[in-house]
Chain A
Amino acid sequence: AQSVTQLGSHVSVSEGALVLLRCNYSSSVPPYLFWYVQYPNQGLQLLLKYTSAATLVKGINGFEAEFKKSETSFHLTKPSAHMSDAAEYFCAVSLGTGNQFYFGTGTSLTVIP
């Protein structure tokens, strides 16, 4: 079975500080991993994806994530938080078969001015 766990349902950072959102996955085979962002009252937007090409993945808006197989992690980072980064962030895993995604429970990011 495959799943993702997002540690910390709420994260608060100061503007300009490092953003670190944690995601650990569970999969019996090499997974595909995604980070999506959901702004208030909007749908989900893809931030970045890992599909085994490179372990460090760069996404939109300055976000990046590193796939660490030994730690079964795919944490999302951004060096300097901006007020516009305040949103809900979802980690998702898929095996590829049927393109079925399994989403984590989400992490709400608050940026303090």
Chain B
Amino acid sequence: DTAVSQTPKYLVTQMGNDKSIKCEQNLGHDTMYWYKQDSKKFLKIMFSYNNKELIINETVPNRFSPKSPDKAHLNLHINSLELGDSAVYFCASSQAPLLAEQLYEQYFGPGTRLTVT
């Protein structure tokens, strides 16, 4: 009964390859996110989707493309992988605020450790 799941847990690949990371949540949330955590543990948001629609797109190379086939899934596709893409990628989800002052905590997946060689 995992709330937010990601696959794969580990991904080792060579520079120049294209890879995808999948994320699924069974919490009924409308909003999903992708974060990147670097080697110094710094967490930075990459994308946010609300009900399959992109609402946050931070400064991320366009080699990264999120895809949301439905509101329970948010996949991350990365083209032409580079050494600097090595990191742990976390998917998260939350309820969608109906009002500006509402806020809901985010639930995180276990992470995908990407190593580019």
Contact = CB atoms under 8 A, between A and B. Distances in A.
Categorize the interface residue count of chain B. 20 to 34
Contact of B105 (A34, A98, A108): A34
Interface residues of A, number: 26
Contacts of B102: 96
A28 interface: no
Contact of B97 (A42, A96, A101): A96
Interface in A72-113: 88, 90, 94, 96-103, 105-106, 108
B103 A51 contact: yes
Interface string B20-45: 00000000000100000000111111
A43 B4 contact: yes
Interface of A: 32, 34, 36, 38, 41-46, 49, 51, 88, 90, 94, 96-103, 105-106, 108
